[in-house]
Amino acid sequence: MPVPLLDLRAQFDTIRDEVLPSLLAVVERQQFIMGDEVGKLEQAVAGLCGVPHGIACASGTDALLLSLKVLNLQPGDEVVTSPFTFFATAGAIANAGGKPVFVDIDSRTFNLDLDQVEAAITPRTRAVVPVHLFGQMAPMACLLEMSRRHGLAVIEDAAQAIGARQRVDGTWKMAGQTGTTGAFSFFPSKNLGAWGDGGMIVTGDAALAERLRRLRLHGGAKQYHHDEIGTNSRLDTLQAAVLLTKLPHLAGWSAARRQRAARYDQAFAGLVQTPFVAPENEHIYHQYTVRVARRDALKAHLAKLGIGCAVYYPTPLHVQPCFAPLGYRQGQFPEAERAAREVLSLPVYPELTDPLQDQVIEAVRGFYR
Ligand SMILES: *Cc1c(COP(=O)(O)O)cnc(C)c1O
């Protein structure tokens, strides 16, 4: 039997009886824009993150873009981030008027290497965008200390990390909690996925929250009065209803992902390089990503056996054609480039059964026999 990389229909089967009535309730009210569910979801996600404010918006990309817009970046202002991430991270920096400055990653976690972040800071640096890649948080305590010292904003790209946490001085801090803002995506394949596009910004800063609420509604708090130029970036009520239904399941889904990951860890020990989890982190395994030398051959082998797998990400951003004007070259960030050659993500969704997972394990073992 083929094993997909992700099976959203299997998830739907488990929540059908909850989610359909919640959608029907919205349809009966015909309140599709900024309905009650949007505010409820904002409260619930902010609560999950341990912050007072949640601002829903149209996508994870917009959550990043709006977070960066409030910094009022001027031409030449720099924003430091990772070259080993989904394109939106750096695209949002450029679209907000900033200059993306890439630094290499930590080879073990795939997250920003903080020594390199510090070395890249100049008088023009305004912010850092750490990406909590694959569901594991970047080291926030050190990053926040460094950012405070240099007067920088920290915009957490938490698109892959909703519900992930990190122990700092004995207390848990959630993804999105400690940055200036945290940006989440509800793209259907994310751990908390809508039935379309969606995103959310969380923040502890009331003034920032108010401005973000204005910016997503064309910059106007009152209708037909515009303090600044914003955009249309709302989360629609139907998506909020889907997400509100799914949210109470998220902790259980994350635990199931961790259990799948532990099973792979055991099965793959000594065979392939399994994910490294920093001791202070609780991983939510948006992806279970192994590193192997003959990656493309393993990928072809799995594809032939009907095992879903994918490469996130095959090309680091510093060598993307659109960023050529920034002047980076191949070879400049060896760890990001090596990761792009070696990573392979395997099925780790909560509904993956033991027999299906065993098929994945057998297929990987078969490659090395
Ligand atoms: C998915 C993702 C985004 C963008 O989210 P969208 O909702 O697709 O716009 C940004 N950054 C990372 C790391 C992502 O994985």
Distance from residue 235's CA to the centre of ligand 1 (Å): 15
Give yes or no for residue 185 CB within 6 A of ligand 1.
Answer: yes
Question: How many angstroms does the Cα of residue 270 sit away from the middle of ligand 1?
Answer: 33
Ligand 1 centroid to Cα of residue 86, in Å, is 6
Taking the centre of ligand 1 as the mean of its atom positions, its distance from the CA of residue 302, in whole angstroms, is 26
Q: Can you say whether residue 276 is alpha, beta or left, with left for phi > 0 and alpha for psi between -120 and 50 degrees?
A: beta
Ligand 1 atom, smallest distance to 197 CA: 7
User: Using a 6 Å cutoff on CB, does residue 239 contact ligand 1?
Assistant: no
**pLDDT for position 259:** 98
- Looking at residue 219, what is its pLDDT? 87
CA distance 218 to 228: 8
pLDDT at position 151 = 98
Of the residues 129, 156, 160, 284, which should be mutated to test ligand 1's pocket, given the most ligand atoms within 8 Å of the CB? 160
User: Quick one: tokens of 183?
Assistant: 């940006």
- Find the 245 Cα to ligand 1 centroid distance in Å: 21
Q: Are 159 and 190 in contact (CB under 8 A)?
A: yes
> Per-domain residue ranges for the chain?
8-104+111-248, 249-368
The alpha carbon of 81 and the centre of ligand 1 are apart by a number of angstroms equal to: 14
Which atom in ligand 1 lies closest to the alpha carbon of residue 131?
13
Asked if domains 8-104+111-248 and 249-368 share a fold, the reply is no
CATH fit for domain 8-104+111-248, picks 3.40.50.300, 3.40.640.10, 3.30.70.20, 3.40.50.880: 3.40.640.10
- Ligand 1 contact, 287 CB (< 6 A): no
pLDDT of 342 reads 98
Return the best residue to mutate from 64, 81, 187 for the ligand 1 pocket (most ligand atoms within 8 A of CB). 187
- What distance in Å separates the CA atoms of residue 53 and residue 207, rounded to the nearest whole number? 10
> Which residues of the chain carry a pLDDT beneath 70?
none
Instruction: Identify the pLDDT of residue 210.
Output: 96
Q: What is the pLDDT of residue 282?
A: 98
* pLDDT reported for residue 222: 80
Residue 212 one-letter amino acid: L
CATH of 249-368, one of 3.90.1150.10, 3.40.50.300, 3.30.70.100, 3.40.50.2000: 3.90.1150.10
Q: How far is the C-alpha of 110 from the C-alpha of 336, rounded, in Å?
A: 8
34 class by beta-carbon count within 10 Å (0-12 exposed, 13-18 middle, 19+ buried) = middle
pLDDT of residue 220: 84
Tell me the CA–centroid distance for residue 269 and ligand 1, in Å.
31
